[in-house]
Amino acid sequence: MRKVIVISHISLDGVIQSMGAADEDTSGGFVYGGWIAPYSDEVVGTVVRREMNMPFDLLIGRKTFDIWAPYWPQHADVWPGVNTANKYVASNTLTTHEWQPTVFLSGAIAQQVLDLKQQPGPDLHVYGSGNLIQTLMKHDLVDAFWLKIYPLTLGNGKKLFADGTIPAAFRVTESQVSPRGVIIANYERSGAVTTTLDWPTA
C-alpha cells in the first residue's frame, strides 16, 4: 500500500499558511507571507530538492492547485516531476483542467484517498492543502509527516494541526538541524498512543 506523506514548512506555533510568497494566501488577513525566506540555506535546499526528485503522485487541495497550476507548467526546468506526476485534487467544483494528468476528487474524499492508497503507484505527497490535511488526519490517512520547523512564531494563520487530529504515535526516521536553525524531522506512524498507569513516585 502506498503512503500519504504530508510535506510541510511549519512555524514553532504550527502555522503553515503562505510560507513561500507574500501574496500566496492572504486569507484571514495574514500578512507574513514568505516567512521561510530568511531561513533558507544549503541544508534545507538539499532536503527539499531530494524530496522533489523522488517518485511521487500529488494529493492536494483546490487552493493549492489554483496556486500551482498557472506556475509550474512555466517552470518545468525547476521541478519537471510536478508536471508529469498524477495530480489528485480535492474539489467540489472543478472537474477538468488543462494541467494534466489531473483527477478531481469530490464527495467522500476520505474513501477515495483510501482507494488511492491501495492502488499501485508511488507515494502520495501532500503540499500546502491545509483543509485537505485536516480531513486526512481526521480519518487516520496520514502515514508520515516530513516537516521543516522554523525558529519563529507567527501568532495567527492556518495551522497544520488545526483540528480533526486523532491520537497517534510516530517515530522519527530522519532529523537534522540546518545552520539557520530549521529543524528537519521526518515522522512515520508507529501505532497507537501508549501510556503508563504506574508513574514512578520515587
Domain count, the chain: 1
30: domain CATH number is 3.40.430.10
In a domain, 202, yes or no: no
pLDDT digits (tens, 9 = 90+) for 140-196: 999 999 999 999 999 999 999 987 688 999 999 999 999 999 999 999 999 899 887
In a domain, 99, yes or no: yes
How many CB atoms neighbour CB 100 within 10 A?
A: 12
Helix (H) or strand (E) holding 72: none
Name every residue whose Cβ is closer than 8 Å to that of residue 63 and which is 6 or more positions away in sequence: 25, 128, 129, 131
For residue 4, what are the β-bridge partners?
124
Ramachandran quadrant class, 83 (left: phi over 0; alpha: psi -120 to 50; beta: rest): alpha
In a domain, 117, yes or no: yes
**Peptide bond before residue 101 is cis, with ω within 30 degrees of 0:** yes
In a domain, 54, yes or no: yes
Tracing cell 507567527 back to the chain, one arrives at 154
In a domain, 194, yes or no: no
In a domain, 102, yes or no: yes
Name every residue whose Cβ is closer than 8 Å to that of residue 111 and which is 6 or more positions away in sequence: none
pLDDT digits (tens, 9 = 90+) for 57-95: 999 999 999 999 999 999 999 999 999 999 999 999 999
Q: Domain range for residue 139?
A: 4-189
How many CB atoms neighbour CB 106 within 10 A?
A: 14
pTM of the full predicted structure?
Answer: 0.93
How far separated are the first and last CA of the chain, in Å rounded?
Answer: 46
Cα 170 → chain centroid: 16
pLDDT digits (tens, 9 = 90+) for 29-51: 999 999 999 999 999 999 999 99
Q: Which amino acid is at 108?
A: A
In a domain, 198, yes or no: no
